[in-house]
């Protein structure tokens, strides 16, 4: 669906070009796109991208995330402190009668999940990082910003630029037919651009 919501590539002008694109995508990815559903839809594309990233994230999801309880009953407070199953990591007195208890289950009481696979999550992430690094290495000091799935870099006439593509895993220009004239970042996922 993400690929369909991305719309037709700019070179797919005729019906024949579009049918060839569908065939090429099928041969490359093993997914048959629906000709009638290929339409530029930025909102749906963003939603599909979020879903795909979330699915991959589920493989590496931890089962034993920290928990927070607010306790005003002294017996519950002492039960948590002396529990064989729980480990209290922080106890903050919020008021004279309430304690914020941060805790997690002890490792031996955490059930494994058949829905997670840390090796798969690590492998997928490492392959993406290696691909990103291959571009960063070639761009060198021209890189202004990079995070898990994007690179902002300077371009001068005659300098090497990464090739762009229309398929899953290919780089795309997030501001097609525009050039970034001003760029500011405050760190990961915090950036602003001005285009012309």
pTM: 0.61
Least confident among 28-32, 59-63, 84-88, 184-188: 59-63
Q: What is the pLDDT of residue 152?
A: 92
| Contact (Cβ atoms closer than 8 angstroms) between residue 4 and residue 33 | yes
What is the rounded average pLDDT of the residues 115-128? 84
For 89-105, give one letter per residue: b (16+ CB within 10 A) or e. eeeeeeeeeebebebbb
CB 25 within 8 A of CB 37: no
Task: Give the mean model confidence (pLDDT) for residues 143-161.
Answer: 90
Give the three-class secondary structure for 133: helix
Instruction: Name the pLDDT band for 34 (thresholds 50, 70, 90).
Output: very high
């Amino acid at each position: 669906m993400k690929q369909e919501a991305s719309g037709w590539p700019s070179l797919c002008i005729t019906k024949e070009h579009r049918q060839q694109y569908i065939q090429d995508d099928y041969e490359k990815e093993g997914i048959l796109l629906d000709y009638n559903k290929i339409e530029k839809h930025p909102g749906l594309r963003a939603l599909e991208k979020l879903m795909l990233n979330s699915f991959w994230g589920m493989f590496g999801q931890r089962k034993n995330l920290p928990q927070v309880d607010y306790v005003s009953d002294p017996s519950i407070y002492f039960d948590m402190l002396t529990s064989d199953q729980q480990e209290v990591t922080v106890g903050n007195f919020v008021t004279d009668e309430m304690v914020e208890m941060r805790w997690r289950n002890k490792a031996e009481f955490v059930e494994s999940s058949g829905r997670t696979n840390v090796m798969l999550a690590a492998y997928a992430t490492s392959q993406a990082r290696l691909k990103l690094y291959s571009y960063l290495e070639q761009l060198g000091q021209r890189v202004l910003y990079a995070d898990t799935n994007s690179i902002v870099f300077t371009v001068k006439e005659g300098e090497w630029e990464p090739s762009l593509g229309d398929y899953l895993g290919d780089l795309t220009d997030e501001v097609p037919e525009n050039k970034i004239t001003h760029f500011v970042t405050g760190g990961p996922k915090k950036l602003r651009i001005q285009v012309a």
